[in-house]
Structure 1
Amino acid sequence: MNSRQLYSDIFEYSYNSPLVISLVGGGGKTSTAFWLAKEFKKRGHRVCVTTTTKMYSPKKNQADNFIKIDNSNLESISQLTKDLSDQSVTFCYQHLIPTNNKSEENKVSGITCDDIEQLKNGSYFTVFIIEADGAKCLPIKAPDRHEPCIPISSDMVIGVTGAEIINTRAIPEKIHRWHLFSALTQCSAGELIDRRILGNLIVHPQGLFKNAPDKARKIWLINKIDLTHDYTSLVKLAQQVLEQANNLDAIWLATMNSQAPIKERLVKQKLPIGN
């Protein structure tokens, strides 16, 4: 498989059932979710973007449709979606969570994994993209006991890490759930967040891909590569982690807020998605 194949397989493969992609890890999940949604929409898909936790309410230009889902209308999803375009992005949520701080954006609460299964079985949407984790906008984290909330039907799990934290000294205030991160990666405050630390985070059962289904493809997305001081060293580190992490299928190096976000892809030799 060449370096582009897994990337293109995601968008070009003809799926027999709806594709489910879950996003976990540090900051950058929301921008990744809506970039993926836009790319799938371009290819004629009906995309549902949602969350199983909480996330900032998306801007109006990020989705074509906004649907508030609760127990009273979930079973009638066919009625809710009957007038939607065949090529569209729909954001589904449960409740709006207003903020008392005018400088902060409103958040929304998401739907449950069971709700997603029910929506999937309704078969209107062809792709589901789910923000399944929270990180308080910090670039890296370790999951708490109740995290992440990944649907068991996920075909792919993308773990996000901010490049600005890689090859820098560990500052607890810049790492979400520092005490858990420190314990499972064996990282002390002030220690360099290097290949060893990141490799531990990725391969540990309670680490970045905690709760990811065994069958799901696992991609490490290193975001904000424009903030790294040494891109060559970053790529070398990524290649070493990919070689050593048995649970990892690919690494994407990206700047998700740019027009062409994916800058480089590193992929293991493996059968295409769907086989």
Structure 2
Amino acid sequence: MFSQMFGLPEGIVSVVGSGGKTTLLSTLARELPGPVILCTTTHMFPFPEYPRIGGDDAGQVRDALEHSRVVCLGRPDENDKLTAPAMPFSQLLALAPWVLVEADGSKRLPFKAHAPHEPVIPPESGHTILVVGASGFGTSIAQAVHRPERFCALTDAQPQDPVTPELAALAITREGLSRQVFLNQVESEATWALARRFARALEHSGTQVFAGSLHQGVCRRL
């Protein structure tokens, strides 16, 4: 189980990065044994399998959790994405043992470099997982990375250069956003070889590296 591999404690868990954040949130919510609130600090698509609550009424959230172990909290914007909940995160913690937060946006690209104001991790968050998409390895920085200019500044690379495991690891190390990284979309022997290169490039950073496939339900510590 992904939640056991990551050793998730009760509290607020923030998921940042790219290449599978929403799927990881859905997977964790399904695995965790107790009530879960799903929400965002930026924007995210709602989870159709779970009730959606848009207000700031704690009683309404509590009632919804009595009928559904997982609820999705946030107000819809003009694109029918959800925005941050109206209630403070400290109040959400009183309603459910786990609050899972999508704390980043990536325009559905496999890699992301972060602007100074990103990611938007709640101050109360006790655990952060950075997601990276292995499908972007070998593709140019300009095509595979959200905020490619920032990625280039972090790695001294050029936009036309391909993203290698070593470049991705260097950007992650220099940003220092999380001590847990999950490399998603690892679904072939060739991609597992790239995953091992990625883990080796991070081995002196103090980062826990996991790899696998949310689609296949596979997660390994590298």
TM-score (norm 2): 0.87
Residue 21, structure 1, aligned to residue 7, structure 2: no
Aligned runs of 1:3-18 on 2, under 5 Å?
7=5, 9-10=7-8, 18=10
Structure 1 residue 198 displacement after superposition: 1.9
Structure 1 residue 38 displacement after superposition: 0.2
Query: Which of residues 39, 42, 45 is equivalent to 1:53?
Result: 42
Aligned runs of 1:46-195 on 2, under 5 Å?
46-59=35-48, 61=49, 63=50, 65-69=51-55, 74=56, 76-82=57-63, 84-85=65-66, 88-98=69-79, 106-111=80-85, 115-120=88-93, 123-166=94-137, 168-195=138-165
Question: Any stretches of 5+ residues in structure 2 without a counterpart?
Answer: none
In the alignment, residue 111 of structure 1 is paired with which amino acid? P
Distance 2:186 2:213 in 1: 6
Question: Is contact 1:95–1:110 with CA below 8 Å preserved after alignment?
Answer: no
Residue 255, structure 1, aligned to residue 213, structure 2: yes
Distance 1:236 1:124 in 2: 40
Q: Which residue is 1:269 aligned to?
A: none
Q: How many residues align?
A: 221
Question: Is contact 2:17–2:130 with CA below 8 Å preserved after alignment?
Answer: yes
Residue 243, structure 1, aligned to residue 217, structure 2: no
Question: Is contact 1:25–1:208 with CA below 8 Å preserved after alignment?
Answer: no
Residue 35 and residue 46 in structure 1: after superposition, are their counterparts in 2 closer, same or farther (change >3 A)?
same
In the alignment, residue 256 of structure 1 is paired with which amino acid? L
In the alignment, residue 196 of structure 2 is paired with which amino acid? K
Distance 1:229 1:192 in 2: 20
Deviations, residues 87-141 of structure 1 (Å, cap 9, x unaligned): 701100122433xxxxxxx3222237x7212322xx1201011000000000001
Question: Is contact 1:97–1:108 with CA below 8 Å preserved after alignment?
Answer: no
Q: Which residue is 1:225 aligned to?
A: 186
Distance 2:46 2:211 in 1: 26
Aligned runs of 1:180-219 on 2, under 5 Å?
180-204=150-174, 207=175, 209=177, 218-219=179-180
Secondary structure in 1 aligned to 2:25? helix
Give 1 or 2 for the bigger CA radius of gyration: 1
Question: Is contact 2:109–2:144 with CA below 8 Å preserved after alignment?
Answer: yes
Question: Any stretches of 5+ residues in structure 1 without a counterpart?
Answer: 99-105, 213-217, 267-275
Q: CA RMSD in A?
A: 2.5
In the alignment, residue 81 of structure 1 is paired with which amino acid? R
Deviations, residues 201-233 of structure 1 (Å, cap 9, x unaligned): 1111xx261xx6xxxxx211111112x671342
Distance 1:180 1:236 in 2: 25
TM-score (norm 1): 0.72
Secondary structure in 2 aligned to 1:154? coil
Residue 155 and residue 26 in structure 1: after superposition, are their counterparts in 2 closer, same or farther (change >3 A)?
same
